[in-house]
A and B are shown apart, each in its own frame.
Chain A
Amino acid sequence: MTKELPSLEGPVCALPKSHKDRIVIGHGSGGKMTADLIRDIFYPPLSNPALLAGNDAGVVQLADGSMLAISTDAHVVSPLFFPGGDIGKLAICGTVNDVAMVGAKPLYLTASFILEEGLELSILESVVQSMKSSAEEAGVEIISGDTKVVAHGEADGLYISTTGVGELNPGLKIGGAEAKPGDLVIISGTIGEHGIAVLEARGELGFESNLESDTAPLNHLVAAMLTASKNIHVLRDPTRGGVATALNEISRQSGVGIILEEDSLPILPAVAAACEMLGFDPLYIANEGKLLAIVSQEDVENVLAVMRKTRYGENAAVIGVVEGSPQGRVLLKTVLGSTRIVDVLAGEMLPRIC
């Protein structure tokens, strides 16, 4: 660079828009804006240790010493049916997986339905049938529910909120703050299918990929992994915001750096191609049937071997390593040997102009 820089004549920029006074769509992206909302609006008045742990499920100990994991998740996917799944399957798997991500065994779910006036009952029936199948696969029961109807136009067909309870072995300590330098990062399979499949089902892409959502209950996979190693430090399902956002959360919670190897990321060609066309990065696309595991290096081969024998872990792979620094950062080593930051999404992911 030249030493003498010109004065700042002809400056050009507008004042910032911080969106502090109103909800905008980016607050639901799972990225930085969502994190700010949780930190500024929810944490201060509701603060307690289980909440502030910031894991997919809150963990509490009962008077008799037993441990419970509880999680809740609202589902507003549009369209209601998409290749590889539907809102019912998603509502079961999303909550089952959140409970499983602290190492708990999910047992019971509750479900509340917000139905829009005019919704066809046959649609509701199909969704409930799908919930039944997924609950059976996961081995959980739906033991309570609630139904509300809102006027036509006040909801988009059908929203489902589910809450799940699971029991947790008191000896386990799995959470976002437990990653340690030297650990390796495992992904249970290929990334990005759910987000692209749903975009395609909305008819917004203008092309067909034949991709299916990966929506699946992962609790049996987790149970198998726990038999293979006592040194699984973190489990997280990279849903909204994708692998990049989940790993950024973990890097901050644990105060570690996470270094990914671009070459090792498992991505289906159809996902890679769709992302190329849309200007998206697969690292930020939602998954609904994948988990990230951060595991002691010496146990990784055992864990991988067990995962690869299961239905939802066949393509499990090591994608990165945990380092002492840079704390709170995720970096990616490119195939060319250079390095770049993998940041959290700022707000809504926006397709690029060209």
Chain B
Amino acid sequence: MKYLAEYRDAELVHSTIAKIKETVSQPWTLMEICGGQTHSIIKNGLDQLLPDEIELVHGPGCPVCVTPLELIDKALAIASQPDVIFTSYGDMLRVPGSQADLFSIRAQGGDVRVVYSPLDALKIAQENPNKEVVFFAIGFETTAPANVMSILQAEQLKVSNYSILVSHVRVPPAIETILGSPNNRVQGFLAAGHVCAVMGYWEYLPIAKKYQIPISVTGFEPLDIVQGILDTVESLEAGESPVKNSYIRAVTEQGNKAAQQSINRVFESCDRKWRGIGLIPNSGWRLNSAYADFDAEQRFNVQAIEAEESPLCISGLVLQGIKKPAECEAFGNLCTPENPLGATMVSDEGACAAYYRYRNQPAENARDIK
């Protein structure tokens, strides 16, 4: 595939890894922020190819994984109601709430539909004027523009039976939380390329300066990722802490201004709970008062739902990069993708699911095929 094959070229990937090996002189711990990057690293086995000095720990950048339990419970409460069509990205359907998941609600007669875009959900609302249509608007900065676009269009088209259940989170406050933790081991970050395509990387300049930590904006293909690692390792070896852009084909310093303006028009900053991490001040977005009519939490009166997390899994420590999935006692036995204990095992982007799918067993038996 044109524009993808170039970034999966084995020769280029290996020559970049050779440069990393030439550059590295001591152990470094890097965190890739985004779950899409974790998935790509494990799927392509990139960590198997890196020198031993480089340890990759997996960040909290999977929107499915960090959506708090009580928000799942709110989604289940709304989806169970008659005359509601509840729409969601596919991988949220399997995330367990306190009592059930969206698949169970669907099996019990709830109208739960997978959509590829909130604009599809808006279309469903237009086609079903006698139903309330709710979209589960989760995600980082990447999905925010599409979600606010559905609200702006609903406003313009006067679609009154459409609302969104919002759980938006932002990357920079999460990075600061990880860096401020006494357990922090992360010495360099691969910032999430698609988040930065929307937001730019200007937000990361003060973080890099304050914590003296190099950050490289990184894409998702194998060559993108090893390039991001090389750029970060070069900074670390030089004792410098710049923000580098290793994903120049998609990202500029200022990002997508039109998208940012739309977000600012519809959303306002708020505190958010992160599953596994806890409350991070000013780490998310919610609908502002001008668009409160589109807020499903208010429309269905579910604000009061609260949920206690059970003490069974360690996804919080995995999301903060303190532990790896295989260090969890439940990994692969009590906790599997078809029977997930925690959200990190649910989504393809979740670190535990990526390890389970591609690393459940050591791979040394593989041999060449003629």
Enumerate chain A interface residues (CB-CB to B < 8 A): 1-2, 5-6, 8, 10-19, 22-26, 31-33, 36, 204-206, 257, 259-261, 264, 269, 272-273, 276, 278-279, 318, 320-321, 323, 325-326, 329, 331, 333-341, 343, 346-348, 350-354
Contact = CB atoms under 8 A, between A and B. Distances in A.
Given A11-B309, A329-B361, A339 B106 contact: no
Nearest to A331: B366
A269 B277 CA distance: 41
Given A16-B341, A25-B107, 11 more contacts: A1-B324, A5-B322, A11-B314, A12-B69, A13-B315, A269-B1, A320-B369, A331-B366, A336-B14, A347-B103, A354-B143
A338 B46 contact: yes
Contact of B278 (A10, A36, A340): A10
B103 A346 contact: no
Contacts of B309: 11-14
Contact of A2 (B72, B185, B339, B370): B185
Contacts of B64: 353
A338 B44 contact: yes
B224 interface: no
Contacts of B43: 334, 340
A279 B277 CA distance: 27
Given A14-B96, A336-B14, A336-B49, A351 B317 contact: no
Given A12-B315, A350-B114, A335 B8 contact: yes
A348 B113 CA distance: 13
B46 A17 contact: no
A193 B52 CA distance: 41
Contacts of B120: 206
A341 B1 CA distance: 24
B13 A346 contact: no
B305 interface: no
B369 A321 contact: yes
B366 A339 contact: yes
Contact of A347 (B4, B94, B357): B94
Given A5-B327, A18-B339, A331-B363, A338 B48 contact: yes
B366 A259 contact: yes
B339 A25 contact: no
A347 B360 contact: no
B338 A33 contact: yes
Contact of B369 (A269, A333, A338, A353): A333
Nearest to B95: A14
Given A321-B369, A323-B367, A11 B312 contact: yes
Interface string B93-111: 1101110110110111000
Interface string B22-45: 000000000000001000001111
Contact of A17 (B36, B96, B277, B361): B96
A1 B325 CA distance: 12
Given A12-B276, A335-B8, A351-B91, A259 B369 contact: yes
Counting chain B CB atoms within 10 Å of each CB, which of A6, A331, A336 scores highest? A336
A18 to B, nearest CB: 5
Interface of B: 1, 4, 8, 10, 13-14, 36, 42-46, 48-49, 55, 63-64, 69, 72, 89-94, 96-98, 100-101, 103-104, 106-108, 114, 116-117, 120, 138-139, 142-143, 183, 185, 194, 222, 275-278, 307, 309-317, 322-324, 327, 334-343, 347-349, 356-361, 363, 365-370
B73 to A, nearest CB: 9
Given A14-B310, A347-B338, A279 B4 contact: no
Q: What 7 A-B pairs are tightest by C-beta distance, nearest first?
A: A338-B45, A13-B342, A350-B90, A13-B313, A346-B338, A339-B363, A340-B358
Contacts of B358: 340-341, 343
A346 B347 CA distance: 11
A33 B48 CA distance: 31
Contacts of A326: 361, 365
Given A19-B103, A24-B104, A204 B365 contact: no
Nearest to B42: A340
A261 B10 CA distance: 14
A311 to B, nearest CB: 27
Contact of B63 (A31, A323, A351, A353): A353
B96 A346 contact: no
B347 A353 contact: yes
A190 B306 CA distance: 50
Contacts of B36: 352, 354
A25 B96 contact: no
Contacts of B335: 16
Contacts of B100: 17
Contacts of A341: 357-361, 363
A31 B93 CA distance: 17
30 contacts: A1-B55, A1-B324, A5-B322, A8-B314, A10-B278, A11-B316, A12-B314, A13-B313, A13-B342, A13-B343, A14-B97, A14-B98, A14-B341, A16-B335, A19-B107, A22-B104, A260-B369, A276-B1, A326-B365, A336-B13, A337-B10, A339-B45, A340-B359, A347-B337, A348-B93, A350-B348, A353-B63, A353-B91, A353-B143, A354-B36
Given A331-B365, A353-B92, A343 B342 contact: no
A90 B106 CA distance: 28
B96 A15 contact: yes
Contacts of A346: 336-338
Contacts of A343: 356-358, 360
Contacts of B337: 346-347
Nearest to A324: B365
B313 A336 contact: no
Contacts of A15: 96, 98, 310, 312, 341
